[in-house]
Each structure stands twice: as C-alpha cells, then as structure tokens.
Amino acid sequence: MKKKLALLLFKYFPYGGLQKDFLGVANELILRGHVLKAFTRSWEGPIPEGLDVVVLGERGKFNYAKNRNFVKDVYLSMQDFSPDIIFGFNKMPGLDLYFAADTCFAKQALKKNIVQKFTRRYRQSMQFEEDVFSQKSNTKILSLNDKQSNEFREFYSTQAERIIIAPPGIDKDWSNYEPVNIYEALNISLGEKILLFVGSDFSRKGLDRAILGLRHLNEKNISSNLVVIGDDKSKPYENLLTDASLSKKVHFLGPRKDVASFMKSADLLIHPAREEAAGNIIIEALVSGLPSLVTSEVGFSSEVLKFRSGTVLEGEFNQNRFNLLLEESVSDKNLFYIRSSISNLYDNKYFFSRFKFIADFIEETF
C-alpha cells in the first residue's frame, strides 16, 4: 500500500552526511511509488524528480529559535497534506519515525561548560531529544550502529523495540569512480604520503588534530600532504598552518562530487573526530580500499575494527598517541597489508543496503 510521507529536516544542502542519507531514502521511496513532501527551513541544490519540497524559511535570530519556529510552522503547513507518516531527520516533537544522524546531545553536554545548561539552546535541544527518545514517546528510531543506540538508551532508557539498527548506505555508483592522479593535480612530489580528510564541519571532525598529526610526520621526515575535502572555512586554520610551516602541505579543495576518486588514490583516511554518530566516510573508504585512522568517538569505528580496515584510537583523545598511531599507519608495510585485506569489499552489498532496508521497514511497519 502506497503511503504519504512528510519528510522533515531543518536544512538541506549538498554534501552533508545527513542530507545524503535524506536524499537516498527519499529516492528509494519515490522509486517505490510513495508520495513524498519534504518540509525544510532552507534548500540548496537541485530537487529530485518526484519530490515536492516546501521551504518554510527561517524565523528567529538564533538557531534554537529557528528550530522552534520551524516545528510550529511545519505542523501548520502539512495539515492539508495529511501524511500517513511523519519522518524526521532532525530531533523534534511529533515524529512517527526518526533517522538518528546525530549523536546523543545529553552525553555530549556532559563535556561542555556547566553554564550552557542555563541557555535556551541547551534546554530546547534537551527537550527535542527527550521528545524522541523518552519512554513516553512512541517515535520509532532508525539508529546507525550499536554504539549510538546504546548511548541513547543509557540516558533515556528508550525501549529496545523502538530502536532499529540500519545498515550502512553509500552511493551505489561509488565503485564506478576512477582514481585521480593526486600528485599531478595538486603538484605534489612523487613518493610523498597523501592523507585524506573529508568532512563539512572541520572543528567537529578534528581538522586541527589532523594538521598537528601532519606536522609530526614531517618532523619525522615522513614527507606527507593533507588533502582536505569539505564545505567549511579554512581561515580559522591559517595560524595553525603558519605555526606548523605546513601551508604548502595542506590542500583545501572545498566540497567535491569525486570524493571516491580521491579515496582510491590517497594513502590514508584520517578522521580524528570529536563527535560523529556514524561517519559514512569510513564505509566509503573501506569500499574504496583506503586504510583509515579514526577516533573511537566515530560510530563506524566498529566497522574499522570488524573489517580490519585501519586503526582506532581508543578512549579519550591524546594528540601524542594519535601522532604515534599515524606514524605507524602510514608505514608501507601497514598500508600494503590493509589494502590487501580489504581489496575485495567493493561489491559487498551490505555497504549499500541502508536505503532499501529503511524503505522495507517503512512498508512493513506503518
């Protein structure tokens, strides 16, 4: 039976991880003949055929106010649509189904200054999260991994039957991309190590940690370059690059559609994130045959361990420990071993199954 679904998300823009998942789910549901209407504060980029998009605009000076007003506006706006399912990609009240792209705010808040607990942003974020995960809620939750779901259950005692673990999901065409000659494209001397950093939130994804790691390698005479792909500003890192004398060793490429080509050509993906619910780039690197070095804060660090596709820095982050692991990770012996062990995973259907899984779940559950 065909369903009418309202898809809710605060913002849509190309290249964001949540946005890619939103688009993948939407496209799969459209292919199956379901009727979709997306409601958002803002939309950047092309709109897929078959998707009706309602842009409600932004009301409010601060982000918490914009989110609060969006919730008010969206429930008024979708009354005429009368959806069978309200499917949210951000935490908010009134959802039938939530795609958990975010980490547990309650847990992350423990690491912040206690003063933040008195802010409106904190109170609203906690309330929206509780609206989804508390035992009083009926919202079903699509979680991305065990680590993430366990954190939510720890803080909210969410009923286990309401949480469904979805498998990874990356672009079906990922394996079709050809490698790029990074040395020629970026004028890098042959033989230098190529580290790849991918993410559209440089601070949260740990770019400063990556740059300090790069400095360590070059101080150890392991000549290396860092290629940065993502939609964020490089200016906050200029002083760090100058201090570390690395301005010619770090290449900011902005957002790109050919990340797969760079993954098939780099030596190591580094993802020293401070906070990351899942981290699809871990799966993308794995499928590309690219070894990884990640922090245990990354949800899909479990996949790195499971498939032995790299190294995980366990426990609280320490720059010296990260630097030493990075030095070990870029050794020719280590890179050859990992590449050999993951070279046959590019066509493993498990890594491409998220969107089909979610569409199946919706059809079987609602």
* DSSP codes of every residue in 290-355: --EEEETTBTTHHHHHHHT-EEEE-SS--HHHHHHHHHHHTSHHHHHHHHHHHTT-TT-GGGB-HH
Give the dihedral sign, CA 167/172/173/175: positive
Which sign, positive or negative, has the C-alpha torsion 285, 207, 183, 254?
positive
CA-CA distance, 350 to 168, in Å (whole number)? 7
pLDDT per residue as tens digits for the range 173-213: 888 899 999 999 999 999 999 999 999 899 999 999 999 99
Rounded to two decimals, what is the model's pTM? 0.90
Give the SS3 label for residue 36: strand
Fold of 4-171+351-365: Rossmann fold (3.40.50)
- The per-residue pLDDT for 34 is 97
Residues 13-66 have pLDDT tens digits of 988 889 999 999 999 999 999 999 999 999 999 999 999 999 999 999 888 899
* Identical fold, 4-171+351-365 and 174-348: yes
The CATH class that applies to domain 174-348 reads alpha beta
Domain boundaries, the chain: 4-171+351-365, 174-348
User: How many whole angstroms separate alpha carbon 259 and alpha carbon 255?
Assistant: 9
